[in-house]
Chains A and B, each alone.
Chain A
Amino acid sequence: MSEPALLFENVGYAYEETPREAVSDINIRIEAGEWVGVTGPTNAGKSTLCLLAMGLAPHFFGGRLRGNVTVLGTESRGIKVIERSTDVGLLFQNPFTQISGARERVDEEVAFGPECHGVPQAEIEQRVEEAMRVVGISALAKRHPLDLSGGQLQRLALAGLLAMRPKVLLLDEPTSQLDPAGTAAIFEVLSGLHESGVTIVMVEHRLETLCELCPRVVAMVTGRILADGTPQDVFNSEVVQERVGMPVYTRLARSVGLPAPWPVRLSESAKAFGTPIA
């Protein structure tokens, strides 16, 4: 079996000065090139999972870590966050957090990460141009990052991450501040990255989106994994439906009394209701 991109083995983690663990008994193996969606209610431990994979927990936040978090073959305790940043990228929930705070223009902000990694100037320029183009902010290149709207800032944060060319992308609600068109555009970018072999772990609340995009879904509740599998398996579980929720198609099918397995995607829903989609 090849080396997994991410491997959590019996992981438990408690933030400093908190007695209760934010995540407990986490066991996940994510293969290289997988696109895994993580969902769950507030305080489920989704963001902590990303922080652990990046190494910010415990390196930055302190606290107590049990078990092993191995990313691309290196155990978390043995590598600094800045060293991990060469292969792993984390997109924060709040895009303002991602900004370096030292650059006066959007294109310079996107270049910050590659510069820190010592990428040659000609390649930086090419990466910056490409990253801005794919997230749709080329027209904002000369603007000041602080003059951008929340949605534009979120695109900038993603562009900054893409320019670093990570092998593993950890995305904590990557489209929370975007409009539907912007969201669709970003997911198209992510689909392209997934096809090119990038491993993606994406925290997302919109269950319909999650089911459409991610071949594998992890549902979390109060710091523990409740279900891990295909969207169909996860959202057909009554426990998940009760504690995490379900896509609107599943809810609709259940409410009209259709028998299980219930649909989780639009295409399956149309089939279940006997209505073909053009």
Chain B
Amino acid sequence: MAGGLSLYQEGASLLHRAHPLTKGVLTLSALALAFIAPSLYWILGIALMLLILVIVAGVLRRLIAVALALLLPITVLLLAVQGFANPANHTVLFAIGPIVYYTEGLSIAAIAALRITCLVVATFLFSFTTRPADITEALMQRGLSPNMGYVLQSALQIIPQTLDMAGRIQDAQRSRGLETEGSLPKRARAYLPLMLPLVLSSLVATQERAMALEVRGFGLPVKRLNRYEFTDTAVQRVTRWALALAVPAAIVARLLGWR
């Protein structure tokens, strides 16, 4: 059976112990600032800061695997397309026969690649160090309704559950002789016998889940008690505010001519 969608890796680093909201604000601010910052050096600075946090969190090795799979092809593609074919290209960096590579394209590709790197690193840093349940819990402690909290938590579980169900239906239909592989027409013919039971099973599962929640007292009008007490220090609160305020400040700076 499939587990949840969580990428969380057990750990005791500073980031693992930080309040989920601090990590959430850090991630969103880093993303926003990477896209607002005007020059390569600023974005490189953000990327380096994120890299330091990755090392502190002890998830560098795992991140490298993701980076190689995700970022390397994107970066290579950006460098090739922008360097050779950007309309703004005019300063030749090097030429091999008829193939000319331009400085402007390289600069644009580097900025775009770094921004995407920041996006990927910040997102995965957050995912590797924060359990999805903790995010929901932290939000509920800040006033999110338990019903909405349940929706968020179950949404993260529903994809693996549905994939698992689809796998079982596919196995069952194959055992009855349905061909699910091969040419496109064959696959198309198999679509309905696979989708119909999946949709029906999902509807039944939804009804059963609703029943289970009632039986377990979900929705009882009792005062909700916190599941965990997250450590939230003055330093974290100041960091959150500073990061959150840095985004509008950067936007204003850009509008005032920050280059």
Contacts and interface: CB of A to CB of B under 8 A. Distances in A.
Given A101-B158, A101-B161, A111-B227, A118 B212 contact: no
A9 B157 CA distance: 42
A112 B216 contact: yes
B91 interface: no
Contacts of B13: none
B227 A97 contact: no
Contacts of A82: 214, 217-220
B160 A89 contact: no
B1 A147 contact: yes
B217 A164 contact: yes
Interface in B221-250: 222-227
A122 B3 CA distance: 28
Which among B153, B161, B211, B217 has the greatest number of chain A C-beta atoms within 10 A?
B217
A56 B214 contact: yes
Interface in A88-103: 89-90, 92, 94, 96-103
A205 to B, nearest CB: 21
Contacts, number: 111
A83 interface: yes
A56 B216 CA distance: 12
Contacts of B216: 85, 98, 100, 112-113, 116, 160, 164
Contact of A102 (B154, B214, B215): B154
A70 B20 CA distance: 46
A54 interface: yes
Sort chain B's interface into a size bin.
35 or more
A137 to B, nearest CB: 16
Nearest to A153: B1
B77 to A, nearest CB: 36
A108 interface: yes
B191 interface: no
B133 A146 contact: no
Interface in A111-141: 111-113, 115-121
A141 B84 CA distance: 56
B209 interface: yes
A104 interface: yes
Nearest to A98: B212
B213 A100 contact: yes
A148 interface: yes
Interface in B193-207: none
A99 B211 CA distance: 10
Interface string A136-160: 0000000010111000000000001
A72 to B, nearest CB: 15
Nearest to B149: A102
Contacts of B214: 56, 59-60, 80-82, 85
Contact of A118 (B4, B6, B223): B223
A108 B136 CA distance: 14
A104 B220 contact: no
Contacts of A113: 216-217
Interface string B142-182: 00000000100110011011001000000000000000000
A117 B211 contact: no
A86 interface: yes
B17 interface: no
A121 B226 contact: yes
Given A101-B158, A146-B160, A90 B215 contact: yes
A99 B212 contact: yes
A42 B206 CA distance: 25
Contact of B157 (A59, A97, A102): A102
A146 B215 contact: no
A121 to B, nearest CB: 6
B153 A54 contact: no
Contacts of B153: 102-103
Contact of B211 (A60, A112, A119): A60
Contact of B215 (A56, A104, A121): A56
Contact of B133 (A108, A147, A164): A108
Given A92-B212, A121-B227, 10 more contacts: A86-B217, A94-B208, A98-B215, A101-B157, A101-B158, A102-B157, A111-B227, A115-B225, A118-B223, A147-B1
24 contacts: A54-B215, A56-B214, A60-B214, A81-B215, A92-B211, A100-B154, A100-B212, A101-B154, A101-B161, A104-B4, A104-B131, A104-B133, A104-B157, A113-B216, A113-B217, A115-B227, A116-B218, A117-B222, A118-B223, A120-B225, A121-B227, A146-B4, A146-B161, A148-B1
Interface of A: 54, 56, 59-60, 80-83, 85-86, 89-90, 92, 94, 96-104, 108, 111-113, 115-121, 144, 146-148, 160, 164
Interface of B: 1-4, 6, 131-133, 150, 153-154, 157-158, 160-161, 164, 208-220, 222-227
Closest 6 CB pairs of A and B: A118-B222, A102-B153, A144-B3, A116-B217, A85-B217, A81-B214
